[in-house]
Structure 1
Amino acid sequence: MLSLLAASGAAEPIYWENLGLRPYLFEIGGFQLRFYSLAYLLGILLGYWHLSKMIKAPGAPMAQRHADDLFFYCTLGVILGGRLGYAAFYKPELFASADVFKLWEGGMSFHGGVIGVLIAITWVAWRGGLNWLRITDYIAVNVPLAYMLGRLANFVNGELYGRPVEGGFPLAMIFPTDPDQLPRHPSQLYQAGFEGLLLGLLLLAMFWKTPARYRPGFLVGIFTIGMGLGRFLMEFFREPDAHLAHVVVETGLSRGQWLSLPMIGVGLAVLVYALLRPAIGSAKASAPQQA
């Protein structure tokens, strides 16, 4: 996609509507199967499939029944945490009405979704007597590629576009939902590539090609640092929400960047902890080991 955009936008800004995109796969009557909904569904199913594959490898901290429970509770955590986090971090006025429950109108927070998933993992780990930190390692590996699908859906929807860019930039794009109709960064694609594809491939390689899974906290530490750093950097290209533009003016950073700073700090602390602790089990183990 980036290569196509660069080739077609070398001289003039790219008009989103000329790409032949639409926010839904098909429409029957008044019902639309939207790509954003599909992104959530496919991301969760892909994560569940890969987690089930991961726990068959040596050193797994859980059984399939635990993966099934995680699939259910993490789905609730993503949806409820994402929506309530959006209201808490970005639009507190939503709590004053039933609008907080109107998921179809959009508005989800990545940081809220993370909190929701952590609560879900805590619940499953407590019920099953499992090692909480090792479960977070296994879940973290599956998040970035699902996140990538969500950002690609944002692009297909023509929403959450980037900040204005100088003329001549090869990826400059004009989105139909932009009231100013200015050439902008397609920041959804930047986030899909950096926080999604790149981080996802890194974590997959670490899990399958290295003994990283035997250091509790290592994988989730890398994930947390990568997501926090990626979000912090990408926010320089992303247009702040209109009702939060004052945060950038007053502090120099967006709300998303302020939320990402503690995320980076927590990730660094967890990574140091993982490196200072001795590895468990053995990469040569031939059977799953209960942590």
Structure 2
Amino acid sequence: MSLFVLPFPAIDPVAVELGPLVVRWYALAYVCGILFAWWYMIRLVGNARLWGGPSPLQKRDADDLILWATLGIVLGGRLGYVLFYNPAYFAAHPAQILQLWQGGMSFHGGFIGVVLAVLLFARLRGRPVSALADIAAAATPIGLMLGRLANFINGELWGRVTDVPWAMVFPLAGPEPRHPSQLYQATMEGLILFLVLRLLTHRFESLRRPWLTTGAFLVGYGVARIVGEEFRMPDAHIGFLWGGLTMGMALSIPMVLIGAAVAAVALSRPMRTPA
């Protein structure tokens, strides 16, 4: 047992409370992540140099896409949690499926929701799917980082028991010191992945190779999630799967394989040249 256990910061999960109005940090994380993604996509669309010529998208495409993506995140994230993580419970309590304020969102479900939103938006607007997917992928990690930080504030999705000097005792996880795995994931899935994708788009001009940014996001997130799951305690009602796999790992492995294939195809094609 470690002698250097850090105290868990007692941060109130409620950020603002004005009478019946209650705003939680978790909700603010979603709002701020979406607003940042909107701002960043507009910046990418407006930078012709990154595209090797005129952008295939317009500012209003980013304005409208963020609304579609938000709907995909909320609906897909909730349905993904229901189907991937607790189908038996929600089958017995279907009325609770719509109770988003009770918590329970799945990244992989939200990702599928965004994919469907992008495909439908591209079809209706007549825009290239690759360009929409690439700007969405580049803008996503900061929202993931904020979401993980909100998980930490809530004291949920804690890590496995450990004796590292920075271990913490989470209020709802018993007396054992544990990895603050939410912070690991916020760093890897959020900050580091954002910086890598920003380097690709701004230094190596990955937007000039359609789908390359998307492929890099899939690989980067999948690897970061798999590594993070090594420190995170799996959901109690699911536990470990085959050979020590967790549900998060099982859902992320296909992302890595698909992302690697997408990136390889993108790199095999000629780079978009200035008109």
Normalised-by-shorter TM-score class? over 0.9
CA positional deviation for 1:160: 0.7
Output the amino acid matched with 1:133.
S
Output the amino acid matched with 1:269.
A
Equivalent position to 2:233, from 224, 236, 239: 239
Match of 1:76 in 2: 71
Q: TM-score, normalised by structure 1?
A: 0.88
Q: What SS class does the counterpart of residue 14 from structure 1 fall into?
A: coil
Task: Give the count of matched residue pairs.
Answer: 267
Counterpart Cα distance in 2 of 1:43 and 1:138: 14
Contact kept in structure 2, 1:61 and 1:135, CA below 8 Å: no
Residue 174 in structure 1 maps to residue 165 in structure 2:
no
Counterpart Cα distance in 1 of 2:201 and 2:226: 25
Q: What SS class does the counterpart of residue 174 from structure 1 fall into?
A: coil
Output the amino acid matched with 2:43.
K
CA positional deviation for 1:228: 0.4
Equivalent position to 2:179, from 162, 165, 185: 185
RMSD (CA atoms): 1.4
Residue 260 in structure 1 maps to residue 257 in structure 2:
no
Counterpart Cα distance in 1 of 2:4 and 2:268: 53
CA positional deviation for 1:11: 4.2
Output the amino acid matched with 1:48.
W
Q: What SS class does the counterpart of residue 146 from structure 2 fall into?
A: helix
Counterpart Cα distance in 2 of 1:191 and 1:206: 21
CA positional deviation for 1:263: 0.6
CA positional deviation for 1:205: 2.0
CA positional deviation for 1:30: 4.3
CA positional deviation for 1:131: 1.3
Q: TM-score, normalised by structure 2?
A: 0.93
Counterpart Cα distance in 2 of 1:91 and 1:82: 13
CA positional deviation for 1:71: 1.0
Q: What SS class does the counterpart of residue 163 from structure 1 fall into?
A: coil
Contact kept in structure 2, 1:232 and 1:260, CA below 8 Å: yes
CA positional deviation for 1:251: 3.4
Equivalent position to 1:34, from 14, 24, 28: 24
Match of 2:160 in 1: 163
Contact kept in structure 2, 1:221 and 1:267, CA below 8 Å: yes
Q: Which runs of 5+ in 1 are unaligned?
A: 1-9, 286-291
CA positional deviation for 1:73: 0.6
CA positional deviation for 1:281: 2.8
Match of 2:110 in 1: 113
Structure 1 segments, 4+ long, off by >4 Å, are none
Quick one: percent identity of the two aligned structures? 43
Equivalent position to 2:37, from 47, 71, 80: 47
Match of 2:223 in 1: 229
Equivalent position to 1:88, from 83, 88, 94: 83
Residue 138 in structure 1 maps to residue 138 in structure 2:
no
Residue 128 in structure 1 maps to residue 125 in structure 2:
yes
Contact kept in structure 1, 2:41 and 2:136, CA below 8 Å: yes
